[in-house]
Structures are given as C-alpha cells and as structure tokens.
Structure 1
Amino acid sequence: MPDSSSSAPEMADNCPQHVDPATGHPRPPRREFKARGSFVIRCEGCKLPELNCLCPYKVEAESGVQVWLITHPLEHNKPTNTGRLIADVLAPTRVFTWYRTAPDEVLLSLLTDERYAPFVVFPDDQPDYAHRVVDIEAVKHERKQRIPVLILLDGTWRQARRIFRKSPYLDGLPVLPLRTQRLTRYRLRKPASDAHLCTAEVAAELLRQAGESEAANSLDDYFDAFNHSYACSRRYEKIETPSPAMKRLLEKRHAQQCASGSQA
C-alpha cells in the first residue's frame, strides 16, 4: 500500500538491520543511501528538510480504531514514506518490519490477543480470498466488544502484494478493501493510478468511514502539511504563510498544549 506498545509508536523490529533475521548470519553492509535528497539537512524529529520542518504542526488524536503497519524494510529509509505520519498522529500505532522468513514475534502474539479484532487492508480483486472479504460495517460491529485494528501493508503496491501473499499469519484474517471515490493528493511519488491512495490517505479514509472523524481529519491535515512542506522544500522554497491545513493543526496543537497545561 504505497507507500510498540500502547502509548507511543515504536519500531517492533527485533532483528538488527545488519543481521539476517532468518539465519542470524551477518549481512553484507548496504551501500550508503544516495537517492535524490540524501544530502539535504533534515530535522531529526520529522525527517523533513529543515527548511520546512513539520514538527510545529504535529498533533495527537484519539481513536477507538488502531492502526498497525507492516512495513517493507526499504520503506524505513525513504523520507517520502507516509506510514510514519500515522504513528505521529495516533499514539497507539504499532510499526513492524516485514521479513518473509522471520515474522515479528510481537506481531504474532498480538494477532492472537483477544482484546483486538484485526483486519488486513487489501483490495478484493482476487477470488481465492473472496470468502474473507468484509466491509467497514464489520469494523463498526467489532467496536462493541473489542478494539478494531487496521493492518496496513506499508510499501509499494508490488511490495504490499508480496507481503500479503507471503505472510501465512495473515491468511486467517478478514480482508478489508477500501471502497472510496477519493483520489490521491500525494505528489511526492508518482502513483500508477490516481485511485491508488498512499498509506496515510488509506488510514485517514478508513478511520473516517469507521466513525473516527476527528482522528481522520487530524491525519488528513497532517498529511497535507507534509505534502506541502516536502514539495516546497524540493523547490528550495521557504513556506512563509501556513496553508489552511497547517493553520488548523496549529490551532489544535495550541488547544492541546493549553489543555495539558491546565491539567498539570
């Protein structure tokens, strides 16, 4: 989908990048990251170019629906990855790195935890798993007793399909396709189709459909701020006037800081 614990997102990756998770043998060192933009000075917090740092617009939102990301290893090094935006906005978000031969033990344990009702988000375009396909009403129904979880496969469409097909622990989960007329607003990578939403957009749209409008709106605004900040930085343009989405985030952030101060 082009593109841990409870209170803060963390990388639930038990395998160091320099060790093969399946065998434990050392991996050969990877070449230094040299993609376009690799020499840009980036903020340590948001990973965006310091010219238009995203940190002033970071807000937190609460949601009765959680998001877990199964992220392809190559996505972690891409500053254009939008999965991390979800973790910024929704504190309970969990992030797992996908390895075909060594699934994350924490993820496997959580998938059998009766507190959660996980749904793997994936298109319903193949007949072999048609019996597992559900709609958003199934998510709403589960909220009565358990915590619904949207499992997003974070990578390119090719990577996401590989994760879906090569992860047996996902085989028994209900499949939740995203049904929407919404077109992507993501312009930092070229999608195969405007109907292919990036990871953050998929999360925001499903949260909205599940009744989590406040969380969806905050994530949408944060994504728009990210999109705008990154696009301007690519042109070496300093943002002088915040966009409408940025202004809404600044207002929310101020309100959250005031509420936090009054409770101290």
Structure 2
Amino acid sequence: MFGDLPVEVCEGRPMCWRCRRPQKVCLCPFLPVHPLEVSTRLYIVQHPAEESRVLRTVPLLAACLPPGKCNVLVGRRFSEETHPDLAAVCQDSRTLILYPGPSAENLEELVHNHRGPEEPPSTTHHNVIIIDGTWSQAKVMFLKNTLLHLPKQVQLSTAACSQYVIRTQPTDMCLSTLECAAVCLSILERNQHIQDVLLKPLRALCSFQLQHGARVHHSKEHLLRNGLYDKRMLQNKRKIKRLEKLVAEKSLSLDERE
C-alpha cells in the first residue's frame, strides 16, 4: 500500500539492508531473529527533515516488525486527494492517532474500557498513526492536516523518561517515535515483551554512541529547572515561555492521572 522505508544513502559506506545502518555499526544483533507478530498496523507520518537525520529510530522500529505493519509516509501536508490510502486509514473507526492534548483519551483506559479482560488482542485490530519529527514539527503537522483530526486521539499515561539519551527532548516525559510505538504496541497487544524487544536496539544505539564520544542529552525541562539552559537561548523569551508552558501542561496532566 505504501512505499518502502526511505534508505539513508551514505556514499562509500556499505549499508545494512535490515537496520539501515552502516555495516560497521550494524545493529542487527540486537534485533529480533524473526519479526514480531502483531495485529496492530503502524502508520508513521514523517516530517521530511527526519530523513536526513543519522540517528533515526523509525528504521529500527520497521526492522523489528513484519512487512505492512510499519508504514512510513514522508511529507508536511496530507489530504484525501494526495494521499487516498492514508485518508482511508484515517476514516477507519479502528484508527487511533497518538497525539497528546486535552481531547486525547489515555490509551490504557481506552483498551481497558473497550475490550473484555479475557478477550485476546487479535480480535481487535487497530491502526495507530504516529507523527515523526521534533515536537514543534509534530504540532504544526497535526494542526495543519485536518485529515489527522479524524481518528480517535489518544495519549500515553506513562511517566517513564526517554531512553533515547543522545537526543535532546523538550521535557523529561517526551519519548522518541520508537519508544511511543513500543508502548502503544505493548498496550494494544497486551504483551510487555514487545516493548522490551523494541527498546533493545535503541539501547544498543545509545550505548555505542556514548562509547564513541557522544554525551548524554538532558531534556530542556531538566536544564531549565536546574539553571543549566544555554544563556544564549534564554534571550529568546518566546521560546522559553513555550517550554515553560509545555512543562506546566505535562505536570498538570500527571496530577490529573494521580
């Protein structure tokens, strides 16, 4: 239905066909021997800027799942005319879009309320749309694409910190695309093992980068809270206010869950 996952082209460096990493730093030993069997289909709506990033998590996610279970669409604008296949998915009553907000339902509660305690996951097939990009890019893409407003909006209630420590997150609770997918699949499929399998290559990626000169990136929330935020950035008052608002919204959301 959708095109293959875009491949990072790096001239002179042979690439691994499965993990899409240079062969010298291949992460296949950390991928499952066989793709995970899941009933859920993921649709990753990816901002074009993500294609040029070296340390992406979506290729690792796709490498862990069977063909057709992780579909990637690259672009900024999506409509029924330009993307009829995506439009059909958005109009499907079984489709969810993972995007936090006041109108979003907690995924765990949705699954608990709409599925009997003994009902197997395979009887309820879901499609999950995840926006892949920076938080500001994801916000713009969600707001400007009314097609993405059709599915039921859900969010994760997990308070776990991201393990993607080689990339700066806005707040302590922001997760990478792979981590979001891992949590979603483990909830929808009722199988915690799925999350463990999907996070294994991410941990290996971060460990390798840290061993070769990368540093741990604390969230902007952590830096701001501890007075460590770059003073040059502090001159941009509008950006700081947006960050403080995001932190406040996240804290309020956690208080409501408790």
CA distance in structure 2 between the partners assigned to 1:223 and 1:185 by the alignment: 8
- Report the Cα distance in structure 1 between the residues aligned to 2:12 and 2:213, rounded to whole angstroms: 10
Counterpart residue number, 1:253: none
Structure 1 residues 225, 81: CA separation in 2 closer, same or farther (over 3 Å shift)? same
Who is 1:108 aligned against?
87
2:137 aligned partner = 159
Identity %: 23
Q: For the residues of structure 2 that align with 1:232 and 1:47, how far apart are their CA atoms?
A: 20
1:120 paired residue among 87, 97, 103: 97
Which residue is equivalent to 2:192? 213
- Gap change, CA 1:183 and 1:134, over 3 Å in 2: closer
Q: Is 2:50 the partner of 1:75?
A: yes
**Residues 101, 174 of structure 1: CA spacing in aligned structure 2 closer, same or farther, 3 A cutoff?**
closer
Q: Is the 8 A contact 1:41 1:50 kept in 2?
A: yes
Structure 1 position 54 matched with structure 2 position 20 = no
1:110 CA displacement: 2.8
The answer as to whether partners of 1:65 and 1:147 remain within 8 angstroms in 2 is: yes
The RMSD of aligned alpha carbons is 2.8
Task: State how far apart, in whole Å, the 2-side matches of 1:109 and 1:80 are.
Answer: 31
Paired residues in the alignment total: 198
Over residues 91-124 of structure 1, what are the superposed CA-to-partner deviations in whole Å (9 max), with x where a residue is unaligned? 211111123165423211233356xx11110112
Q: What are the Cα deviations for residues 6-31 of structure 1, in whole angstroms up to 9, with x where unaligned?
A: xxx824x9xxxxxxxxxxxxxxxxxx
Offset at residue 160 of structure 1 (A)? 0.6
Q: Give the structure 1 partner of residue 73 of structure 2.
A: 96
Q: Partner amino acid for 2:198? A: L
> Does residue 43 in structure 1 map to residue 18 in structure 2?
no
Larger RCO: 1 or 2 (CA < 8 Å, sep 6+): 1
TM-score by length of 1: 0.65
CA distance in 1, matches of 2:25, 2:15: 9
- Code of the residue aligned with 1:223 in structure 2: it is L
Judged with a 3 Å threshold, the aligned counterparts in structure 2 of structure 1 residues 150 and 93 are, in CA distance, closer, same or farther, namely same
Q: Look up the match of 1:85.
A: 60
Contact 1:65 1:212 in 2 (8 A): no
Q: Does structure 1 conserve the Cα–Cα contact (< 8 Å) formed by 2:96 and 2:151?
A: yes
Unaligned runs of 5+ in 1: 14-32, 236-264
Establish whether residue 137 from structure 1 lines up as the match of residue 109 from structure 2.
yes
- In structure 2, the partner of 1:64 is 39
Alpha carbons 2:16, 2:26 under 8 Å: kept: no
Offset at residue 154 of structure 1 (A): 0.4
Partner SS, residue 204 of structure 2: helix
Q: For structure 2, which runs of at least 5 residues remain unmatched after alignment?
A: 116-120, 215-258
Partners of 2:59 and 2:97 in 1: CA distance = 18
Q: 1:187 aligns with which of 165, 169, 173?
A: 165
Question: Secondary structure at 1:147's aligned position in 2?
Answer: coil
After superposition, the C-alpha distances for 1:231-250 in whole angstroms (9 at most, x for unaligned) are: 33556xxxxxxxxxxxxxxx
User: Structure 1 residues 195 and 40, CA, compared in 2 at 3 Å: closer, same or farther?
Assistant: farther
> Which moved further from structure 2: 148-157 or 45-54?
45-54
Which of the two has greater helix per residue? 2
Whole-Å separation in 2 of the counterparts to 1:137 and 1:123: 14
TM-score when normalising by structure 2: 0.66
